[in-house]
Structure 1
């Protein structure tokens, strides 16, 4: 089921819940499960799935540490720890925002507010991950090169494994 279908399914479940409150507890459990599935699918599609605690927040592709943030439904995303980017420069679906409680949420396909800044998933700046199908701007290519140099300094023999994963 596509993310859009999952979101429509969850929206329909909410409408049904309001229209007929009988069996609310069971229906709420089902709704939570649908929302969790949609959130997890969105994170996976964005390449923003992170290792769940208690595992360290390390990228499996390059070994660099990311900033792990919990989402509204309890999943974790691994964000680039160094970048806060003007949102209009970030590809659609890869704009992550942090609320006042420290929870991360994805802006989805919506246009960002003028002057908005966002966070990006580490996967976009990971030198060991592919970004096939995305328009990689100069700033993103530079961030990927910086992370490649950082990973090379931190890991012996890293350049050999990096060239194999591209």
Structure 2
């Protein structure tokens, strides 16, 4: 979640923009009276988004994280802009996958050292 600006979007002219990349974002309130910047015009199926990153729109216009796993196969969700922002590092969405990638990188380097070099 990000509280990048204090005033609600209805008091500002135009659509809010990401403070990192400058692209337009949807700034939406949460039930906790905080704000989250969501990727505009995108509502993927919830089952393709990690549970802790599924933002579901409520009937009152606010969004909340929907961590139920697995979700209804037809459920759609919103995605936080920081996951799509090219100017911010991607968070560790699946720690086990990050660990696997790190180990594979080590294995690749070890294997490369052990290969006989042509020359």
TM-score when scaled to structure 1? 0.48
Runs of 4+ more than 3 Å apart: none
Structure with the greater alpha carbon radius of gyration: 2
Distance 1:81 1:132 in 2: 20
Greater helix fraction, Structure 1 or Structure 2: 1
1:9 alignment counterpart: none
Partner of 1:103: 62
- 1:54 paired with 2:13, answer no
Q: CA RMSD in A?
A: 1.9
Q: Which residue of structure 2 aligns with residue 5 of structure 1? A: none
- In 2, Cα distance between equivalents of 1:132 and 1:106: 16
**How many equivalent residue pairs?**
88
The answer on whether the counterparts of 2:30 and 2:64 sit within 8 Å (CA) in structure 1 is: yes
Give the secondary structure class of the aligned counterpart of 1:68. Answer: strand
Is the Cα–Cα contact under 8 Å of residues 37 and 80 in structure 2 kept in the other structure?
Answer: yes
1:71-111 superposed Cα distances (whole Å, 9 cap, x missing partner)? 11100110001211000111221000111110110113543
Kindly indicate whether structure 1 or structure 2 has the higher relative contact order, using CA contacts under 8 Å at least 6 residues apart: 2
Give CA deviations for 1:112-145 in whole Å, capped at 9, x if unaligned: 122110000001111111114236xxxxxxxxxx
5+ residue gaps in structure 1?
1-47, 136-166
Structure 2: segments with no counterpart, 5+ residues: 95-119
Query: Match of 2:87?
Result: 128
TM-score, normalised by the number of residues in structure 2: 0.65
Residues 60, 109 of structure 1: CA spacing in aligned structure 2 closer, same or farther, 3 A cutoff? farther
